[in-house]
Structure 1
Amino acid sequence: MFVKSIISLNRRQKAVILLTMDLLLVAASYLLALMLLTIDGPVLPGGLGGALAQLPALLVMAGALSLTLGLSRRRLRDYEGTAIALSVLLAVVLAAGSFVQARLTGLSLPGGVHVVFGLLCFIGVFLSRLSLIWVLTEIYRHSRNFKRVAIYGAGRTGMALAQELRKSDDFVVCAFLDDNAALRGMTLDGLPVYPGVQAGKVIERYKVDRVILAMPSLSIDKQTFLSKRLEKLGLQVQSLPAFTQWHGGAELRKMLTPIGPATLLSRDPLCQNLPAGNNAYCDAKVMISGAGGSIGLELCRQVVACRPRKLVLFELSELALYNADAELRVLAEAVGVEIVPVLGSVADAVQVRRVLAEHEIEIVLHAAAYKHVPLVEINPRTGLANNTLGTAVLARAARDGGVRRFVLVSSDKAVRPGNLMGASKRFAELLVQDLAARPGKTVFSIVRFGNVLGSSGSVVPLFQEQIARGGPVTLTDERVTRYFMTIQEASKLVLLAGSFAEGGEVFVLDMGKPVRIGDLARKLISTAGYTVRDAQNPDGDIEIVTTGLRPGEKLHEELMVRRGATTTAHPKIISVREDHLSELETAAALRDLRDAIERGSDADAIAAVAWAVPEYAPKSLPEDALQCQVVRARRNRDRDVPAE
């Protein structure tokens, strides 16, 4: 009841309370100044009576000044800078008024009385405001009538957001969360800064019920990772668009949007329904190739949670490996997992075999690949060397080294591929399928999924960057559809495949209906607080421009070629056995691809892939189908090529 009574006061009632409090402080300050100067005996000719007679006039002056300066009408949350300066002005004017009044009435007050009076006035007003701010903040923080907020990110964006939210009657900002070690223990703009790992402590201390991510430059996969971690603590998590997109306080608060894939997918996320397969990885020695990439890094996070004995991070990019190692060591220390960073290429057979043997690897999750369609299309030799030959090197080394399980991370673009990237992944699948069909200790399996929300180079970060620049958002075709899944879903699917594969399966996730890319672009524009500018809305903010399909790009992707797929131990995971080449055909195709790459012939390399993957019709082959026919003829002569 008491809290509700305070909240229900209108602005005029609050101003009257502050004015009354200021007048009482003026009277107390004047009396205290007189007492301090008469503590050793009376120093006034007429005693204190004459001095006290001056007080009513000072109170009238104080009330008039407070109203004129607007001190009593200023909200407590705005008591800073200018308001403090006005308090100083009030104290100085009252001290001067006291001096002038004493002279006019012939009262011989020591000059020190007026100086002490002015100082006490300012100190009283200043401390009373700070005390009221502290009391009300504590009331708000512990009241259920307000949304208690912590801001993740104590940079300029977070500071500006805190200032805006303080103007709201709905929010109470309690603290900052920030992973910058230099800010730990600091107080910024009156708010304490805690490290992100102490979010639970902030919840307990301030009864925070939501966190706002004020780091617009952070990638969507990193935001999603933070969001999931905070949601597990029972917090509601919201994101904030870039600082340059704000149009004022009211609109800023409208732009606070929930983080989560549900608004971008045409289905509910399946993360909570997918077990992690912890038992398969617990106390095992695991190697993840491409550990610094979007999928690879999330795989590492989830594998660490399974408590393996050792996790080897195999990565070609030095920067990506450094960042992955730095992040994972923090997570691994808490559960006692050994992290081993290895810089290298999966196409380096000598290093791959040495690493597998040295660390006695039991499980390999192969996520390393060049996946950007246009780049692989114009760099065929490099793309094939990494995606296809690299898979052959790693898979064979895993078999020869006695690795227990090998999981290839593939793509829906490998199904009837319309581009070289998809064809390189389908060829890699054929190589794994060939090894799976042979007797041996290693269980080989393949995981195939669609586009991953927020992965590097994918459409969502591209659209977000275009929106942040003010547009336009570029679409290849309004009719294009794609299957989408979250990074968490994709990673759990890989772990599941590694846990219950029997050998040779291709696993896909039942992802519901494909998403129209045009609809996705409109959702992203809307969630950023903007409207689409088109013929129906010429005054909108962001325009969508159609650029046309790129070479090798399809309108619609598929997840499998063969029909008659079966469910697995989990109803949302589908297993299918795709057709593949014979052992001799696989060996011959791999030999021709390796020879073409060693000779530096892009055309022969593409032709070799086109023979192995007949559904692939090259878009970048210089001599059209002629090269493919030459390779096919050569294949017919070489059917007796040995398997190895």
Structure 2
Amino acid sequence: MSLATVLVTIGAFIKLGLYRAVIRYLSEHAFLAIILGVAISSVALIVFGFLFQALVPRSVPVIYGAFAFLLVAGTRFTVRAIVRRPREKAKNTVLIVGAGPKGMQLASALAQGVEYRPVGFVSLVSSNHRSLISGLPVYSVEHLEKAVRELDASRALLALEDSVPVNRKELLAALERLSIPVQTVPSMSELVAGQARINDIRDLEIEDLLGRDPMRPDAAIVSESLYGKSVMVTGAGGSIGSELCRQILRHKPRVLVLFEQSEFSLYAIERELRTISDVESLDVSVHAVLGSVTHRRRCEAVMKAFDVQAVYHAAAYKHVPLVEHNVIEGIQNNVFGTWHTAEAAISAGVERFVLISTDKAVRPTNVMGASKRMAELVLQGLSQRQSKTVFSMVRFGNVLGSSGSVVPLFRDQIRDGGPVTVTHPDIIRYFMTIPEASQLVLQAGSMGRGGEVFVLDMGEPVKIADLARKMIHLMGLEEKSDDNPAGDIEIVFTGLRPGEKLYEELLIGDNPQGTSHPRIMMAWEVSLPWASVEDLLSKFTRASQAFDCRAVVELLKEGRTAYQPNGDVADLVWCNNTDLPISPAPDTGGKVLHLK
């Protein structure tokens, strides 16, 4: 009887896969297999006792089952604990902020990994405080610092549910006080799309640093202006242009034309968009076209070839110091590029033309801002001259994560051990994430009726020095200062760069008008009749041909841009060439001149 019971028990354990399980990776499935195997063994004992007519008291199968379970499960889980202990001790301890399904998935994935060990949860629901989830203690947000101290956590991981509203500002303020680095895991959309895994740990997302939730546009209104249309984006390889392309693509236009002068940027965004279109079965015809917005005939030929109905003009030089050091090229690209592209749009019968402008166009102190304000005046003049093409402008501040943004720069400087460089202790900027800015640009562009300047609500201005300190703290480090000489990262103030302002504005006037979207306003700005704009453009042409940077600066002042430079002309060629200005190029009657 005993031998038969043992044989049945061994057979049951083999069938349940218990002998194939690697002890150090035993899970709850093995636990269930042991219970089932012991139950089968106990039943076998009763059955064989009956068949062999052996006296088996009723309590024996129960006692036998209990001892068998303790022996089989106890030995295995004890061995597992002994084997895993050194490796578990070597893992980095993490506190998971978020006790929902995403937090549970993260804890499970980390427990099976080799780098991190979850030691507790932080729930956004205060009533969950002091409870246990998967054997790990749960703390409320109010007890974050206590949780880090008691659990000896080496870092905190954000695993917030996308569908659950969170006061990001308060949560970020609580996390900032911690003495450990704070990181995050991919969003649910990335997980569903297979673009990332739950245990892909990364630094805090840019929108987390911003401390506010982005507001989404009205998808129906945007789709109405894009669905089934032929759309062209200039500067399609840039940070704003490429995000515009991604979002336009998902509204299923008939044709999407990518216009870009950088070969590599154009190649990269075309490949990405074609992949998205194929994977999501969007059936959008994507065309990559090399060209410069300063070439009017090229722009017109492209628009006519693809029967373009809407143009989003994102091509521009936007880096303030670089444009300050390259005045003529800044004017050529930002002013003449906008003019030539707009004239091409009129000739090609484009229905809608949207200029991506900047807050630096408001009372500018630099050439870049003044050139963008001049570009706005050009479109306002063209809007008065004709009505076939609807021109509108969308003005917003800095976008986090764009090329030249301070966030990736600060992150690299912190990782390199500092110092973090900030131009001035009081400098402030408006910030918005690239996706949110692009979505609102599409929304505002669909509202245009002709000549409007739309202004995006950028929220509260951000002090750059405070942003640097926030990033230092959230990476688990301390600022090195006179009060804290033992700190990790020092913040160094380098002084304002040529043309840089302490404070940026979004409006020239003080009478903004609301629109149907709560984060889009319409500004009433000064404009010039087309005759005056055309005269200015002629003067800009002569000054540019002569490479006369001082004349260009004077014309920017004359053009009612409110340009007030805070320094002398800083163009590198102008300042280092005593022969400038030079005579304009002569009329050659179509002949090609060869310079000796």
Q: TM-score range by the shorter chain?
A: 0.5 to 0.7
Alignment-derived partner of residue 238 in structure 2: 293
C-alpha distance in 2, partners of 1:71/1:283?
Answer: 60
Query: Structure 1 275/557 Cα, relative in aligned 2: closer, same or farther at 3 Å?
Result: farther
Alignment-derived partner of residue 364 in structure 1: 311
Q: Which residue identity is paired with 1:73?
A: I
C-alpha distance in 2, partners of 1:335/1:314?
Answer: 20
Mean CA deviation greater in 418-427 or 225-234: 225-234
Alignment counterpart, residue 469 of structure 1, candidates 416, 420, 429: 416
Q: Which residue identity is paired with 1:594?
A: T
Alignment-derived partner of residue 259 in structure 1: 205
C-alpha distance in 1, partners of 2:570/2:206?
Answer: 44
Alignment-derived partner of residue 115 in structure 2: 164
Query: Structure 1 150/384 Cα, relative in aligned 2: closer, same or farther at 3 Å?
Result: farther
C-alpha distance in 2, partners of 1:477/1:354?
Answer: 47
Alignment counterpart, residue 331 of structure 2, candidates 384, 389, 396: 384
Q: CA deviation at 1:284?
A: 0.3
Query: Structure 1 225/240 Cα, relative in aligned 2: closer, same or farther at 3 Å?
Result: closer
Moved over 6 A (4+): 223-226, 231-239, 272-276
Query: Structure 1 263/144 Cα, relative in aligned 2: closer, same or farther at 3 Å?
Result: closer
> Does the CA-based 8 Å contact 2:254-2:284 persist in structure 1?
yes
Query: Structure 1 428/226 Cα, relative in aligned 2: closer, same or farther at 3 Å?
Result: farther
Q: Which residue identity is paired with 2:214?
A: P
> Does the CA-based 8 Å contact 1:450-1:485 persist in structure 2?
yes
C-alpha distance in 1, partners of 2:221/2:110?
Answer: 30
Is 1:621 equivalent to 2:572 in the alignment? no
Query: Structure 1 592/540 Cα, relative in aligned 2: closer, same or farther at 3 Å?
Result: same
Give a deviation string over 1:589-621, Cα, whole Å, max 9, x none: 111111222222222222222221452123333
C-alpha distance in 1, partners of 2:259/2:289?
Answer: 5
C-alpha distance in 1, partners of 2:368/2:384?
Answer: 25
Is 1:410 equivalent to 2:357 in the alignment? yes
Is 1:309 equivalent to 2:318 in the alignment? no
Q: Which residue identity is paired with 1:400?
A: S
Alignment-derived partner of residue 437 in structure 2: 490
Q: Which has the higher contact order (CA 8 A, sep 6+)?
A: 2
C-alpha distance in 2, partners of 1:354/1:224?
Answer: 47
Alignment-derived partner of residue 148 in structure 1: 108
> Does the CA-based 8 Å contact 1:230-1:237 persist in structure 2?
no
Alignment-derived partner of residue 230 in structure 1: 190
Secondary structure of the corresponding residue to residue 574 of structure 1: strand
How does 1:31-430 map onto structure 2 within 5 Å?
Answer: 73-75=82-84, 78=87, 147-149=107-109, 162-165=113-116, 167-168=117-118, 227=187, 229-230=189-190, 240=201, 258-265=204-211, 267-271=212-216, 277-333=222-278, 334-430=281-377
Alignment-derived partner of residue 126 in structure 2: none
Aligned residues: 425
Secondary structure of the corresponding residue to residue 550 of structure 1: coil
C-alpha distance in 1, partners of 2:468/2:421?
Answer: 9
C-alpha distance in 2, partners of 1:225/1:382?
Answer: 42
Unmatched tracts of structure 2, length 5 or more: 1-23, 35-74, 89-100, 122-158, 162-182, 572-596
Unmatched tracts of structure 1, length 5 or more: 1-10, 22-65, 80-140, 152-160, 172-208, 212-222, 242-256, 624-644
Secondary structure of the corresponding residue to residue 608 of structure 1: helix
Secondary structure of the corresponding residue to residue 277 of structure 1: helix
> Does the CA-based 8 Å contact 2:186-2:198 persist in structure 1?
no
Larger Rg: 1
TM-score when normalising by structure 1: 0.61
Q: Which residue identity is paired with 1:328?
A: L
Give a deviation string over 1:77-134, Cα, whole Å, max 9, x none: 959xxxxxxxxxxxxxxxxxxxxxxxxxxxxxxxxxxxxxxxxxxxxxxxxxxxxxxx
Q: Which residue identity is paired with 1:555?
A: L
Which is richer in helix?
1
> Does the CA-based 8 Å contact 2:354-2:391 persist in structure 1?
yes
Q: CA deviation at 1:528?
A: 2.1
Q: CA deviation at 1:465?
A: 1.7
C-alpha distance in 1, partners of 2:366/2:488?
Answer: 34
Give a deviation string over 1:206-265, Cα, whole Å, max 9, x none: xxx889xxxxxxxxxxx9997474277799978746xxxxxxxxxxxxxxx553514324
Alignment-derived partner of residue 250 in structure 1: none
> Does the CA-based 8 Å contact 1:568-1:574 persist in structure 2?
yes
Query: Structure 1 271/540 Cα, relative in aligned 2: closer, same or farther at 3 Å?
Result: farther
The root-mean-square deviation of aligned C-alpha atoms, in Å, is: 3.6
Query: Structure 1 78/309 Cα, relative in aligned 2: closer, same or farther at 3 Å?
Result: same
> Does the CA-based 8 Å contact 1:315-1:343 persist in structure 2?
yes
C-alpha distance in 2, partners of 1:415/1:401?
Answer: 31
Is 1:593 equivalent to 2:540 in the alignment? yes
C-alpha distance in 2, partners of 1:295/1:259?
Answer: 17
Q: CA deviation at 1:456?
A: 0.3
> Does the CA-based 8 Å contact 2:109-2:199 persist in structure 1?
no
TM-score when normalising by structure 2: 0.65
Alignment counterpart, residue 483 of structure 2, candidates 536, 540, 545: 536
Q: CA deviation at 1:552?
A: 1.3
C-alpha distance in 2, partners of 1:309/1:225?
Answer: 35
C-alpha distance in 1, partners of 2:452/2:102?
Answer: 55
C-alpha distance in 2, partners of 1:143/1:434?
Answer: 55
C-alpha distance in 2, partners of 1:613/1:466?
Answer: 40
Q: CA deviation at 1:513?
A: 1.8
Q: CA deviation at 1:539?
A: 1.7
Give a deviation string over 1:429-485, Cα, whole Å, max 9, x none: 100111112232111000000000000012112111211211101111111111111
Mean CA deviation greater in 229-238 or 514-523: 229-238
> Does the CA-based 8 Å contact 1:299-1:491 persist in structure 2?
yes
Query: Structure 1 577/437 Cα, relative in aligned 2: closer, same or farther at 3 Å?
Result: farther
C-alpha distance in 2, partners of 1:398/1:225?
Answer: 44
Query: Structure 1 503/396 Cα, relative in aligned 2: closer, same or farther at 3 Å?
Result: same
Alignment-derived partner of residue 560 in structure 1: 507
Give a deviation string over 1:170-212, Cα, whole Å, max 9, x none: 79xxxxxxxxxxxxxxxxxxxxxxxxxxxxxxxxxxxxx889x
Q: Which residue identity is paired with 1:321?
A: L
Alignment-derived partner of residue 18 in structure 2: none
> Does the CA-based 8 Å contact 1:276-1:492 persist in structure 2?
no
Q: Which residue identity is paired with 2:310?
A: I
Sequence identity (%): 45
C-alpha distance in 2, partners of 1:477/1:320?
Answer: 33
Mean CA deviation greater in 382-391 or 507-516: 507-516
Query: Structure 1 75/572 Cα, relative in aligned 2: closer, same or farther at 3 Å?
Result: same
C-alpha distance in 1, partners of 2:286/2:302?
Answer: 14
> Does the CA-based 8 Å contact 1:399-1:441 persist in structure 2?
yes
Alignment-derived partner of residue 527 in structure 1: 474
Q: Which residue identity is paired with 1:331?
A: I
Query: Structure 1 474/403 Cα, relative in aligned 2: closer, same or farther at 3 Å?
Result: same
Q: Which residue identity is paired with 1:455?
A: S
Query: Structure 1 284/274 Cα, relative in aligned 2: closer, same or farther at 3 Å?
Result: closer
